[in-house]
Amino acid sequence: MGIFAALFIFVILLLSLNYLKGKDRRKRLADAVDQFGGSPWYPIIGTTLTQLRAPREELYQLIYDRSEKFGPIFRSWVGSIPQLHFTKAKHAEVVLKSSVNITKGMNYDFVKNWLGDGLITGTGSYWQRHRKLITPTFHFKILDSFQEVFSEKAHLLVEELKPLANGEYFDISTLVTHCALDIICETAMGVEINAMKSSDSEYVKAIYRILEIFIYRWFRPWLHSDFIFGFTAKGKEQRQVLKVLHGFSDKVIADRKKIIQNSQGMAELSEEDKLLGKKRRLAFLDLLLQQNMEKNEWTDKELREEVDTFMFAGHDTTTSSVLWNLFALGNYPEIQEKVYEEIDSIFHGEERPILPEDVARMQYMERVMKETLRIYSVIPYILRRLEEDIEIEGKIIPAGVSVAIHITNIHKDPEQFPDPFRFDPDRFLPENVAKRNPYSHIPFSAGPRNCIGQKFAIRNTKTMLTAILRKYKVKSKLKPEEMKFYGDIILKPQEGIFISLEPRN
């Protein structure tokens, strides 16, 4: 008991000293954010009382409604952390176009134990150096080489769907998730985990668990301290999960290093693959390792951070994008038929792989995808911590304030998108796009810190959708107005995506 009492006193003293030390700065930040309206404030928990009391099922709608009520700008306090919330494109633009205000919000710090200072969580000159080094690995020629993996795994997904294509409704979420995981593991690390065939992978389970822990912690301000969180059951569980995640990545990096070194920078093909006419594939990790052979610019820790970041950013977002597109297409059969007509005009009923040039020709599908990502914003919110002052509506917002950009509200702004809940792919015809604020549609963020992997995600999503639509007609069980969401890091349906499939003649 004595040890815990001493520890408790130490923590209180530490918090008190920090409080006194930053009192003047905190007052300046408080005065700045309190210029705007918002929810009632309470000691210790700030304005999070409603979120803490609400079940997870109600959080997304609660946050959306609060944003509509208090927007376009309002303030909140997550414990003692001041935040401003923007729900209009013109305000988001001020932050997103800045080359200085590129530091992510504090909530991203919670995944640093997993991702370190990779592209999602890093900032400043460290982030700029990594971004510069990684950008060439997303060249269109590299993406072309990934297309073979996209097409192969999408074909396997269609095979897995065959027994289910009987007109009965089923939840397609798990199969799409496993397909996306298979793709991201092979393109990011060059390894096959066969999640579609065997879903009990310890690594797969660890990815899901770490994200659940992240969400749990964010909405509980008393767990924001790493020191306190480390003593909780969730903190101990996180350490075990990280052992699995980092252990897997470290082993893959060590193995790929040997392959690269032994084959002078090219992954060797098996005799079977040579007979099948497959080309040599270089994964994202291989490309970074090749860079290292030439210039020795990456440490093993940095390599792991970027590979883990690619895994984190790549699988869940692609899964969500594919699922919401299937949901939308299943609700609008006339639009689905137009997409299929475009696909058929490319393939003419031929049974062949989906090639990069095929994907490039899918212009109508791309407009459908953009409209889907407008209504169902895969990333509902992004956060920045200001590194320099900004001016909004004639008011100065000082450095140190966190800004939450509500993408889901920006995408439904009637000033930019009249009748915002109507599904209309023609909103993204060039002449209509030209009329809007360029920051009114930001599913992959925008500005210098936009998503480096957005072309990867678009190609991947197009390929999976094409593979399914070539074979099946899709119908959704729920109507858009019936859908309920989880608004965690990624927008997810509360009860899965239930569709029915019927073979095309």
Q: Which domain holds residue 218?
A: 34-503
19 in a structural domain: no
54 in a structural domain: yes
Report the pLDDT averaged over residues 28-47.
Answer: 81
pLDDT at 274: 42
Residue among 54, 111, 42 at smallest CA distance from 78: 42
At residue 54 the predicted structure's pLDDT band, cuts being 50, 70 and 90, is: confident
Do 89 and 416 contact (CB within 8 A), yes or no?
yes
pLDDT at 273: 47
pLDDT at 38: 85
- Residues 261-270: pLDDT tens digits? 776 544 454 5
Q: List the structure tokens of 296.
A: 């020795």
pLDDT-wise least confident of 11-25, 34-48, 377-391, 478-492: 11-25
- Residues 340-374: pLDDT tens digits? 999 999 999 898 999 999 999 999 999 999 999 99
Count how many domains the chain has: 1
21 in a structural domain: no
73 in a structural domain: yes
18 in a structural domain: no
- Residues 488-499: pLDDT tens digits? 788 999 999 999
446 in a structural domain: yes
116 in a structural domain: yes
User: Residue 420, Cβ neighbours under 10 Å: how many?
Assistant: 16
- Residues 267-289: pLDDT tens digits? 454 544 443 445 557 888 888 88
CATH number of the domain enclosing 112 = 1.10.630.10
Distance CA 26, CA 21 (A): 10
pLDDT-wise least confident of 83-87, 191-195, 348-352: 191-195
Q: What are the DSSP E strand ranges found in 238-394?
A: 381-385, 390-392
pLDDT at 277: 45
Report the pLDDT averaged over residues 19-42.
Answer: 74
Identify the three-state secondary structure at position 403. strand
120 in a structural domain: yes
pLDDT at 21: 52
Residue among 359, 349, 313 at smallest CA distance from 464: 359
**In the predicted model, is pLDDT for residue 79 greater than 80?**
no
Mean model confidence pLDDT for the chain: 88
The secondary structure element, H or E, covering residue 487 is strand 485-487
Distance CA 293, CA 261 (A): 9
Do 103 and 452 contact (CB within 8 A), yes or no?
no
Report the pLDDT averaged over residues 216-228.
Answer: 84
Do 445 and 104 contact (CB within 8 A), yes or no?
no
The pTM (predicted TM-score) of the whole model is 0.88
pLDDT at 48: 79
Report the pLDDT averaged over residues 290-303.
Answer: 85
- Residues 303-336: pLDDT tens digits? 999 989 988 888 888 999 999 999 999 999 999 9
**In the predicted model, is pLDDT for residue 15 greater than 80?**
no
